[in-house]
Structure 1
Amino acid sequence: MSPAIRTVLGDIPPEELGTCDAHDHLFIGSLTLPGQELDDVEAALAELNAFGALGGSAVVQWTPWGMGPRAEELPGLSRRSGVHVISATGLHQARHYDPDDLESVRDGLAELFVHELTSAPVKAGLVKVAGSYHRLDDHARHVMTAAAEAHHTTDAPIGVHLEAGTAAMDVLDFLCGSHGVAPRRVILGHLHRFPDARIHRQAAEAGAFLAFDGPSRVHHGTDWRLLDSLAALADTGHINQVLLGGDTVTPTARSTADGPGMPFLLSGLRPRIESELGPDIASAIFTENPARAFAARWR
């Protein structure tokens, strides 16, 4: 079976994905951000259109189960904008949910993930999980165990929220060492928030994809080190494992409001990468690497 990327409009060959925002959100809501939900369909369309106008052709929404992904809206947005959209299943940290909601799915997580990947009206193309700060708590281990089972059933990639960019190697030890997930099927997110070049290199040497995402987060103080992190990975031969995403999670972070949003990846970051690291590296990060990271031999 040939690899394919599972979009909300169906499976496509990897070479059709194009320029990709590898981690972002069109819709999301959390108990930790009351009143700051992304839930406006027309605002989501405007953001997609702005990204597409700069040559963007794909966005991966990492919003998991229970956080308002509004999967039913994604096919229409993809058609109207002409931008491929990949949706996610999975579960975030426990603090983002009502405890009763978590309890209702706790004993059937793997089955839930497989259903959303293979049988839901709008199929997901990614399982999203989350670590805790510098460790894996019991909730993370439970969710990651279910994600590994769903991966082995479907071959879906697993995207990981690393809290403040930490615990990358703990995640790989657990998913890959304990549960047999191939490292190349794991995407480690938020690594720029903990800009330790040694950890980045170790994760890359293990075989995982490394996602640097979130330049829309004005309260993070490490964005100025992003180019240094990318250059270090290029120098050690790991640039083909690097992804970039916007990770827009509040209305004010969108380009149509006060933030750089999705378009900044192409209007701000890509020109700098092309100038400082070269156009081939930019092409790898934005086009070639996502085509491999999100492809699966779906079962």
Structure 2
Amino acid sequence: MSTVRTVLGDVPPGRLGVCDAHDHLFLASPRLPGQELRSRSAARAELAAFREQGGGAVAQWTPYGMGRRAAELPALSRETGVHIVAATGLHQDVHYTEGTLAGLRGRLAEVFVAELTDGIGTSGVRAGFVKVAGGFHTLDAHARWTMAAAAEAHHATGAPIAVHLELGTGALDVLDVLCGERGVPPGRVVLGHLNRCPDPVVHRQAAEAGCYLAFDGPSRAHHATDWRMPEAVRALAEAGHGDRLLLGGDTTTAAARSVDGGPGMPYLLRRVRPRLALAVGEELVARVLTENPGRAFAVEWR
């Protein structure tokens, strides 16, 4: 039976409820100095605010070495009533020291598999998917290395692979590597940030390949993509790909949290959901927030 691996154990996909398919409770990177997500109380407040809007589950895409705080997640899930799915994986190399990366050479897939099956560090919390990342319109050697390890971990466990697309670019290159070269079924791949590059041709090709397409996070001031997102979703739905769509909030900085004056996790349900419903209808939005993430993250674990 397929189940979603949450931080409190495996659950049937139908129990997730309304799902934020891409967000962060904890995150730290040298690329975002002073904006680390480290506060447990703020993470709890975000989850509670999301729950008040009707939220039931969050997939935290924070991978290895970026301050996941895995041991904190089970208590936060219990306290707020929100399912949490944790990630293993590795981000772009700019988020790590050379020493950290050197320590993973030759054993990256082994680390991913261990975190999916045995637990993250000594926390006992098992990851539910692998997160990796591409570059801006390209895949460098680091990206190909991490994707090869992610594919190996998938073949060992069945876990889905979620991919950060830099500014929404490189989707087809990712599919060439993961699915074409490495044999990962497209239905086990989630492409993130497609709202940041609203190219309808690429979106359609990715959906036709069979992967999941995540539209996640409000745009920054210099990205005029928010108003295009509903039309992009509608075009995919009208082409018969409504079952391939996911939505997320992608809160990556302390200033972006709702408790600190930003949109935060509640924004997905408070603003994005009704705006999208105007374009595609309440019924489809409900499926995108519930049924689709249940399928995307559910696994017949090996």
Both proteins in one fold, TM over 0.5: yes
1:207 matched to 2:200? The reply is no
Structure 2 equivalent of residue 128 of structure 1: 131
Structure 2: which amino acid aligns with 1:283? A
- Aligned-pair CA distance for 1:273: 2.1
- Aligned-pair CA distance for 1:218: 4.2
Structure 2 equivalent of residue 295 of structure 1: 298
1:112 matched to 2:111? The reply is yes
How far apart are the structure 2 equivalents of 1:106 and 1:31? 21
Deviations 1:183-219 (A, max 9, x none): 0000000011111000000000000000001116444
SS state of the match for residue 164, structure 1? helix
Structure 1: which amino acid aligns with 2:255? T
Within-5 A mapping of 1:182-261: 182-215=185-218, 217-261=220-264
- Aligned-pair CA distance for 1:256: 1.0
SS state of the match for residue 258, structure 2? coil
Structure 2 equivalent of residue 273 of structure 1: 276
How far apart are the structure 2 equivalents of 1:191 and 1:274? 19
- Aligned-pair CA distance for 1:269: 1.1
Structure 2: which amino acid aligns with 1:247? D
Structure 2: which amino acid aligns with 1:204? A
Within-5 A mapping of 1:1-299: 2-120=1-119, 121-215=124-218, 217-299=220-302
Structure 1 residues 78, 216: CA separation in 2 closer, same or farther (over 3 Å shift)?
farther
SS state of the match for residue 103, structure 2? helix
Contact kept in structure 2, 1:47 and 1:254, CA below 8 Å? yes
Deviations 1:27-83 (A, max 9, x none): 001111111100000000000000001110000000000000000100010000000
Structure 2: which amino acid aligns with 1:63? T
Structure 1 residues 165, 182: CA separation in 2 closer, same or farther (over 3 Å shift)?
same
SS state of the match for residue 131, structure 2? strand
Given the two structures, how large is their TM-score scaled by the length of structure 1? 0.98
How far apart are the structure 1 equivalents of 2:14 and 2:82? 14
Contact kept in structure 2, 1:217 and 1:253, CA below 8 Å? no
SS state of the match for residue 58, structure 1? strand
Structure 1: which amino acid aligns with 2:10? D
SS state of the match for residue 183, structure 2? coil
Structure 1: which amino acid aligns with 2:69? R
How far apart are the structure 2 equivalents of 1:294 and 1:219? 32
Contact kept in structure 1, 2:117 and 2:126, CA below 8 Å? yes
Structure 1: which amino acid aligns with 2:35? Q
How far apart are the structure 2 equivalents of 1:51 and 1:245? 12
For structure 2, which runs of at least 5 residues remain unmatched after alignment? Answer: none
Contact kept in structure 2, 1:215 and 1:246, CA below 8 Å? yes
Contact kept in structure 1, 2:219 and 2:226, CA below 8 Å? no
Q: Alpha carbon RMSD of aligned pairs, Å? A: 0.9
